[in-house]
Amino acid sequence: MKKKWIPVVLLSIAAASIAAFFATAKLIENRIADAGVINTETRLIEEKAGLSLKYGNAHYDIFRGLVLTGVHIAERAEKGENVVFSSGQAIFQFPLLELLRGNVTPSRLILIEGRMNLSGKSDPRNRIEKLIAFLKHTSLDLEWRDVQINGLKDSADFAAKDVRLAGTLIVRDMETPALRLAVEFRDDDVFKIQGSWKSAPMERLFVRVESMPVRLPHLWMASFPYLPADADLRWKEGVINAEGSIDLTEEGYAFHLRGAFKHLQFSIPDTGFEARDLDGSF
């Protein structure tokens, strides 16, 4: 007889666990709604980062966090706005224990999919400084997942949708923010950046390039040493592997890379010059 009660007890425990799970999820959802997290974060993003955040719908997922869909982030401009991120999701994540204690403060902002515009009229360094000021003020870490880079153009052997950006900007509990970025091409990391962000006098970010196709537009050289700056250079084939750094100063930036290239092909249509299957180091 005792064995017959075992399934009943197990089902009762399972039912109680499911009921507790949904009750906890509803409790957390109500706490987030009552705290006005979206309005608070939207206001802080505008005040500290100079960015406006608009979205289509919002809902809470206990496994993911506060999910905003149809997200549109832009910076103010003299005429209109410069779009920074669009057509994606933004997720505010919360430490579960802190939520249960009543502390409704997000710890991470994740931008998923969508399109990110890396160009713009404002100074990129100033844009990053404003973003970091917002993240520090709110104790938020920032993460990108599977974000398409806007501005890249399709070609005969290249699809812009194949290039994606992933990375993190860690600010919480950090004296200097730590930056990690990876440019993905067809699901392979081809360009990695890692470093810490300091305002002055110079910031150095470490870079690793792995089997990077030279034909990726806007991600490699438009000119070549010893050739005229206005030469119409067309990269065709070849891959590059290298390590080094990027130095950023108030005057600009400089790449310091050392590595090798394989099976390099390029041409200069105006002159009829074409180079094929070059291997070497730089």
φ/ψ region of 251 (left if φ > 0, alpha if ψ in -120 to 50, else beta) reads alpha
Q: Are 244 and 270 in contact (CB under 8 A)?
A: no
Quick one: what percent of the chain has pLDDT higher than 70? 78
State yes or no: pLDDT of 24 exceeds 80: no
User: Mean per-residue pLDDT for 28-43?
Assistant: 81
Confidence of residue 92 (pLDDT cuts 50, 70, 90): very high
Confidence of residue 259 (pLDDT cuts 50, 70, 90): very high
State yes or no: pLDDT of 68 exceeds 90: yes
State yes or no: pLDDT of 91 exceeds 90: yes
pLDDT at position 208: 87
pLDDT at position 236: 80
Confidence of residue 106 (pLDDT cuts 50, 70, 90): very high
Q: Which residues does 72 contact at the CB level (< 8 Å), separation at least 6? A: 53, 54, 55, 83, 85, 86, 87
234-249 and 81-93 strand pairing: unpaired
What is the three-class DSSP state of 160?
A: helix
State yes or no: pLDDT of 219 exceeds 60: no
pLDDT at position 202: 60
Proportion of the chain in helix, strand, coil states, percent, rounded to 5: 25, 45, 30
Confidence of residue 227 (pLDDT cuts 50, 70, 90): low
Confidence of residue 123 (pLDDT cuts 50, 70, 90): low
What mean pLDDT is reported for the chain? Answer: 80
